[in-house]
Amino acid sequence: MIEAKELYHQYDKNGEYVLRALNFTINRGEFVFVIGQSGAGKSTLLKLLIREIAPSKGSLSILGQDLAKLPRHKVPYLRRNIGMVFQDFRLLDERTAFDNIAFSMRVTGASNSDIRNRVPHVLEMVGLADKAGARVRDLSGGEQQRVGLARAIANRPALIVADEPTGNLDPDTSLEIMNLLRNINFRGTTVLIATHDREIVDRLKKRVICLEKGKIAGDEQKGVYARAL
């Protein structure tokens, strides 16, 4: 699913590398946490995965496509296979939960009939079947993150990438969101999460990749936060 070989990235050609010599493979269907202190390179790695930025050196492949060589006009096709979940939700506050998901599907070329059929299904999956017509601004933080998760899975992506998805949520709601992500993973979707949430990492005991100063400092199956760091 994902393969990095001697992956480097720098934002300034004359600056230091933010990521250095990363080598890892994530197989289809895995559930992986990426942890590390602020500035370790987690957000940069996620930006590379969704091709918001391109690798400076080395290769990063998703589903067999080398993102270092991917032409910009093919980036939208890559992103159809990736669902992104953000810490700050990035929803349209004045639109309904239904409209937010429909908009993301429409952007990727989904038909109106697909939207009518799929949106109620994903809202039901995340426990918001009764909130389809509610404006996002009137939903709680946990409900907004559920809408964000429904939006991420609406196009049936092969990969979910989540950037601190529980960062703005209380512990109980955080666990609910993680259980939803785990259920999505059980259905076969690969899940990669960048997080500082020690309790969640320790509770789920999934694979943990630790970044430190742009390098991989640890990579453990059934890892816990403290040991990985």
Q: Walk along the chain (229 residues) and give the pLDDT tens digit of each residue.
A: 999 999 999 999 889 999 999 999 999 999 999 999 989 999 999 999 999 999 999 999 999 999 999 999 999 889 889 999 998 999 999 999 999 999 999 988 899 999 999 999 999 999 999 999 999 999 999 999 999 999 999 999 999 999 999 988 999 999 999 999 999 999 999 999 999 999 999 999 999 999 999 999 999 998 888 665 6
For residue 88 the two structure tokens come to 């700050």
Same domain, 161 and 120: no
pLDDT at 148: 96
Burial class (CB in 10 A: 0-12, 13-18, 19+), 120: middle
102 in the same domain as 189: no
Q: What is residue 228's predicted lDDT score, i.e. its pLDDT?
A: 56
Q: Is 131 a domain residue?
A: yes
Is the distance from CB of 52 to CB of 27 less than 8 angstroms?
A: no
Q: Say if residue 121 is in the same domain as residue 221.
A: no
Q: Which of 156, 183, 209 is the last residue of a domain?
A: 156
Residues 108 and 171 in one domain: no
Boundaries of domain holding 52: 2-81+157-228
- Residues 67 and 174 reside in one and the same domain: yes
Same structural domain, 215 and 192 = yes
Same domain assignment for residues 68 and 170? yes
Please report whether residue 222 resides in a domain. yes
In whole angstroms, what is the distance from residue 201 CA to residue 196 CA? 9
Give the end of a domain, one of 156, 187, 206: 156
Q: Based on the domain organization, do 135 and 173 belong to the same domain?
A: no
- What's the predicted TM-score (pTM) here? 0.92
* Within a domain: 86: no
What is the 8-class DSSP label of residue 110?
Answer: -
> Could you tell me if 9 and 76 lie in one domain?
yes
Q: Which of 107, 132, 156 is where one domain is finished?
A: 156
Same domain, yes or no, for 16 and 77?
yes
**Which tokens in the block code for residue 162?**
């989540």
| DSSP H or E segment with residue 204 | helix 198-204
For residues 83 and 160, the answer to whether their CB atoms sit within 8 Å is yes
The CATH number linked to 170 is: 3.40.50.300
CA distance 1 to 35: 20
- Work out how many domains the chain is built from and give that number: 2
> What distance in Å separates the CA atoms of residue 82 and residue 148, rounded to the nearest whole number?
13
Q: Are 140 and 97 in contact (CB under 8 A)?
A: no
Tell me, yes or no, whether 200 and 182 share the same domain.
yes
